[in-house]
Amino acid sequence: MTLNAHQKPGAALRWLLTALLALPAWGASGPVRRFALVVGNDLGGENTRPLLYARDDARKLYDIMVRLGGIQPADAMLLLNESADDVLTALGELERRSRDAQRQGEQTGIFFYYSGHARDGALRLGGSRLALESLKARLAQAPADIRIAIFDACRSGALTRAKGVRRAPAFEVESDATRAAKGLVILTSSAADEDSQESDTIGGSYFSHHLASGLLGDADKSGDGRISLSEAYAYAYERTVADTAESSAGPQHPTFSFDLAGNGDLVLTDVAARREGIALAAAAPAGNWFVVDSKGFIVAEVMKTEGLERRIALPPGTYTVKRRLADKLRVGQINVAEGQITQLDDRSLKDTAFSDDPVKGVGRALLYSKHWSFGLQGTWQAVFDTPTDQGGLFPSSPNVGLEGTWHNFFGRGFSWTIDGMAGTTGGTLNTGALQNLAYRYTLFSVGTGLLVEWPEGSWGPFVGARLGLNLMSRDFEVSTLPRQTFSVLTPGLVGGLKVRLTQNFALSARVRLHYLLYNIDETKNFGFLELATCLSYEFRE
């Protein structure tokens, strides 16, 4: 029999807790070599909208499992935006290693995580598809003692609803279980008829976010510093349903199924062993605490219970901690040092207005929405040519101009730009017997380009290609010499860094490197470098 937590939420959840707590230890009853395949794919091919956080969720889970899950980096694989064939190839490699380990007498486990699109009974990995049934069958037959598969995808509950999964024969809670188990556990982020939702505020999908928070320590209901699968699932289920209950897409119900034999506790992460992160003392105020990273995304949530200490395993770094009260925020900085637990004290937090919420208002959905920005730029164009007073052809000049960018026009992070600028400078030309020939140089340049932007955070780098049209002219002080002009298409590369000043204003520093063909007297290959600063305004809703 296959149980579906969505179909019978209350009873099923209790039953799952019981059952999973009875599962064989993931390392508890002897050394288990763990392998992990973590897959994230934002793209789902035709008739799907790119996801914003699937890859990030995968990275997050990968980091947690490697850091806290007892998985050696060499035994873990992270596939981002790869195809179905790549996934199967990687899975095959892990199966081979697991089989080899088993031949060496080791117990093995395979952890499979997928975040991305699923539709019509298949995972959608870009333009490729991976049928859920075949994947499930593959996992069921994988040469490992225990296989755990977690799917964070729309309608992924179809996996747990489908037939063919054998129910475990015994699920009694045995805290001292010693019997090794063999089997398959599948968790999904949503039921068979539900969408899995992402959130800009938390910077990920609800399910993966809460699963991650739970694995970092907040799901440690037993307080033993070890997060079991049952604890993690129960935590993620409860928080996901709660967070999505009022969403426009409706509540999202994670599901599970298992096909197991044996008993024992199945530990996914061990935050006690790591001893690195933050700790909330038992006396700390109850309620929700948020740990925010430097990009303004929530990396962990803590549901602090009165009188209980809570420990969250975080990698070294500086974090912002936030508590939300009815009338204000309590915000503070905390530094996590390597190998140390930093005690978090509410007294170190300061009252802050809601407008200064460290969780950035510009969510990824907004960042990656299609929208225009317009900017005013100042540019110095330096031509790689001999100075004109030494016989060169083209001078360098300052320019001012305007730039318009249609962000995410060609897809997430791919923007289309159009720009124009004008500049002028004076100089003297020496060529042959002509000496000290004073001239006024004028440049008009228009261009269009394709940029790849990484707009998240305060500093957003971008690179791209640009095709410019340079319209140059020079007028000589001597009226009898003709005005000279030169127009040429100039292909080039663009790179830069944008600093977000406010939600809508940004200042960017940009470098362009262009090719300049000269072919009037003779063919010469020049280049020019443009150094620019641009103040832009983004028209985002």
Partner 1 sequence: MKRYLLCMSALTAIGCGNWSNKDLEFLNALPVSSDLTSKLPGAESSSQGLSSTGGQRRDPLMSGEASRLYADTKKASSDFNGILSSMLSTLEFVRNIPPTRRESDVRVWGPYPDSQHPGFDFQIVVSRVDAENFTWAMQSRKRGDNFFDAANGNFKANTGIRRGQGAFAIHLKEIRAHFPLPGIPTELEEIEVGYITDIFPLRVDMHFVFAQGKPTSLSEIGYVYFEKEDHSGAMHFQVRTSAPEARLVETSSVWATNGAGRASTQIVEGTFKGASEQQCWNEGFNVVWGKQTWLGGMEVGNSADCVVVSGF
Binding site for partner 1 (CB under 8 A): 391, 393, 429, 431-437, 469, 472, 474, 478, 480-482, 484-489, 517-521
As given in the structure block, the two tokens for residue 441 are 């140089």
Q: Nearest-CA neighbor of 296 among 5, 114, 503, 468?
A: 503
Q: How far is CA 178 from CA 27, 35, 441, in A?
A: 11, 22, 85
The answer to whether 266 touches 109, Cβ cutoff 8 Å, is no
Question: At closest approach, how far in Å is the CB of 446 from partner 1?
Answer: 12
Nearer to partner 1, 308 or 471 (CB): 471
The least distance separating partner 1 from the CB of residue 447, rounded to whole angstroms, comes to 13
Residue 406 or 518 having the CB closest to partner 1: 518
| Cα–Cα nearest to 4, from 152, 233, 187 | 187
In the bound state with partner 1, the residue whose beta carbon lies nearer, of 515 and 537, is 515
Residue 440 CB, nearest distance to partner 1 (Å)? 14
Give the nearer residue to partner 1 in terms of CB position, either 369 or 442: 442
Residues 220 and 197: their CA atoms lie apart, in Å, by 25
- The continuous run of DSSP H or E covering 257 comes out as strand 255-261
Q: Which is nearer to partner 1, 105 or 482 (CB)?
A: 482
Question: How far apart are CB 459 and partner 1 at their closest, in Å?
Answer: 37
Task: Tally Cβ neighbours within 10 Å of residue 282.
Answer: 12
Shorter beta-carbon distance to partner 1: residue 307 or 482 = 482
CB of 316 to partner 1, least distance (A): 54
Q: Are 361 and 503 in contact (CB under 8 A)?
A: yes
Q: What minimum distance in Å lies between the beta carbon of 516 and partner 1? A: 8
Residue 415: name the closest of 450, 391, 367, 461 by CA: 450
- Token pair recorded at residue 132: 């859920």
Phi-psi domain of 225 (left: phi exceeds 0; alpha: psi -120 through 50; beta: other): left
CB of 476 vs partner 1, minimal distance in Å: 8
Nearer to partner 1, 66 or 429 (CB): 429
- HSE-CB of 174 using CA atoms within 13 angstroms: 17
Smallest gap, in angstroms, from Cβ of residue 483 to partner 1?
8
Q: Which of 504/519 has CB closer to partner 1?
A: 519
Residue 38 burial class via C-beta count within 10 angstroms: exposed 0-12, middle 13-18, buried 19 and up: buried
Which two tokens mark 483? 């005005």
